[in-house]
Amino acid sequence: MKEFIAILKNEIIKTIKRPRSFIGFGIIAFICLMLQSAFYHDGKEILSFVTGQLENVFNVEGKVLNGNLICFIVLQTLIVQMPLLVALVTGDLVSGETANGTIRFLLTRPASRTKIVLAKWIAGLFYTLLLLIVLGFFALFVSHWIFGDGDLMALNSEGLTIISADDIIWRWGYAFLIAFLSLSVVATLANMLSCIMDNSITPIVSVMAIIIVFTIIGMFDLPSFDLIKPFLFTTHMISWKSLFEDPIPFHDIWFSIAVLIIHIVLFISISIFYFNRKDINS
């Protein structure tokens, strides 16, 4: 166990210290600040796309443009892009070392291959968690600091749900947990491809391609796609949004969580299985 912790510590430091890890933090900070600035200046116009439908008949009273709404919009925008940032770092944790030849030195340590794969996987998850913490800081705390608190007007395809400001903090907590689980699937998939492929770039590009294709399939309401949609992990990555519905569809959320966990278990099992049988030639 001591050995495993030492490897894990080493892997976490290696992962965090890489320049590309900071690209992820920088991009998140940049996108958050950019969206916040856009909403600060043109928020009412942007919102009128939705509230305009109501404003013909109603006066919308209260502070619609607030920190909760901005966080909701930022999270819903970034949840599609964040997997790409996760893949950028976790996609070459193994394959990068294979390509460089440093994996051979790592394998000379007494720890088993399973422990090495698990250490790399956990390091990837730790990076994913850090990304989400940075996102949470900018999307939730900075947005509240700039726009203040207020009821959330949550947008979903069936309309609007107004959630009281007093009833929202716990929803954010669980939403970030589900977002972490969703991104963990991406990190595990990237880790799996990284174990299979020897090239540093191919696993990253493959993960990005898979996410883009799955997301496009999810966007279209075509009957032929409906059969496969429930099995795509991207379909369930957005399930955090269900926490902002009234009533909350807990059954759907639990189903999504189960699907995401099954993906993680499947991907990490394949990673361990493949890496244990892999010939390290370079």
Partner 1 sequence: MMKKLLSILLLFVSYQALAGVDPKLLIRDLNKKFNQVSDYKADLYMEFNLPGVKMKNLKGKVVFKKPNKFKIKAKGIFFLPKQNPMQNMSEMLIDTNSYTSIISGYETVEGKNCAIVNIIPLKAQDELILGKFWIDIKNPLVYKSQITTKNNGTIETKSIYGNQIKYALPEKIIVKLEINRIKVPKMMSVDLNKKSKPKTGIESKETGSIQLNFSNYSINANLSDAEFVD
236 lies in the binding site for partner 1 (CB under 8 A): yes
Q: Shortest distance, CB of residue 203 to partner 1, whole angstroms?
A: 24
State the minimum distance, in angstroms, from the CB of residue 242 to partner 1.
8
Size of the site for partner 1 (CB under 8 A): 48
Tell me whether residue 30 or residue 220 sits nearer to partner 1 (CB atom).
Answer: 220
CA–CA separation, 131 and 125 (whole Å): 10
- Quote the CA–CA distance of 225 and 219 in Å, as a whole number: 10
Q: Which two tokens stand for residue 195?
A: 């174990």
Q: Is 86 or 118 the residue whose CB approaches partner 1 more closely?
A: 86
Interface with partner 1 (CB under 8 A), residue from 120, 171, 241, 263: 241
C-beta closer to partner 1: residue 1 or 222: 222
The structure tokens listed for 145 are: 């600091």
The DSSP call for residue 257 is H
Nearer to partner 1, 56 or 108 (CB): 56
- Strands 159-163 and 152-156 come out as antiparallel
The mark string for 32-61 relative to partner 1 (x by CB under 8 A, - otherwise) is -----------------xx--xx-xxxxxx
Residue among 81 and 282 whose Cβ is closer to partner 1: 81
Bond preceding residue 247 cis, omega within 30 of 0: yes
Which residues are registered as beta bridge partners of 159?
156
Q: Does 170 bind partner 1 (CB under 8 A)?
A: no
Minimal distance, residue 78 CB to partner 1, in Å? 10
Instruction: Establish if 162 lies at the interface with partner 1 (CB under 8 A).
Output: yes
Give me the count of residues in the chain.
282
DSSP 139: I
Is 158 one of the binding residues for partner 1 (CB under 8 A)?
Answer: yes
Should residue 179 be labelled a site residue for partner 1 when binding is judged by CB under 8 A?
A: no
Tell me if 115 contacts partner 1 by CB under 8 A.
no
Question: Least distance (Å) from partner 1 to the CB of residue 49?
Answer: 7
Asked whether the beta carbons of 167 and 247 are under 8 A apart, the reply is no
- Spatial neighbors of 106 by CB under 8 A, at least 6 apart, are 97, 116
The one segment of 12-20, 98-106, 111-119, 227-235 that binds partner 1 by CB under 8 A:
227-235
CB atoms within 10 A of CB 224: 8
Smallest distance, Å, CB 215 to partner 1?
7
Alpha helices (runs of H) in 137-240, residue ranges in sequence order: 143-147, 169-196, 201-219, 223-226, 233-237
Nearest distance, CB of residue 217 and partner 1, angstroms: 9
